[in-house]
Every structure is written in C-alpha cells, then in structure tokens.
Amino acid sequence: MAIGAVVTFASASGNYFLQVITIAVAFILFGVPCTGLWLLFGASLKNLLSNPVRRRTFNVVMALLLVASLVPTMHELYVQRII
C-alpha cells in the first residue's frame, strides 16, 4: 500500500526524498492509530462472538450490509444502461 501511495502521490519534478518521507510520516500518523483501533475492535468482538447465536446474527447482519453497499453501484449501472 505504501508503494502505491508513493507511485500515486510523489512527482519526479520535486524533491522525491522529501515526498517519500512525507508520505511515510502520513502513513505512520494515521496508520498506527487506525490499526490499533482495529485490533481493539477485533479483541472486543472475540468475547461477543463466542456465542454461536450472536456469531450467526453478526454474520447475517454483515452480509446484509455488504449487499446493501452494492445497491447504489448497481442502481447507477442500471441507470447508465451498462447492465
């Protein structure tokens, strides 16, 4: 992901080293807290999802949310007559 960010956001016309350092610092400043929150969320879910009924409910809700997230895209494709 970091390589993709450098390729996308760094330009050859400027100070390339400074741009790479800036991107790396941004990854550290935002990546570490986000990863920490993700780990805490996962640890708290471990206790919640130890019950098979709650785990099944969680999986169904997540599946429905995933399908619901596709609805706007599918609607837009339908309006544009792509599908």
The pTM score is 0.58
Helix (H, G, I), strand (E, B) or coil at 10: coil
Give the pLDDT of residue 7.
86
State the DSSP string of 24-58. HHHHHHHHHHHHHHHHHHHHHHHHHTTSHHHHHHH
Nearest to 10 by CA among 22, 26, 1, 25: 22
At residue 44, what is the residue type? Answer: S
Domain boundaries, the chain: 1-48, 51-83
How far is residue 57's CA from residue 59's CA, in Å, rounded to a whole number? 5
The tens digit of pLDDT for each residue in 5-45 reads 888 888 888 899 999 999 899 989 999 999 999 999 999 99
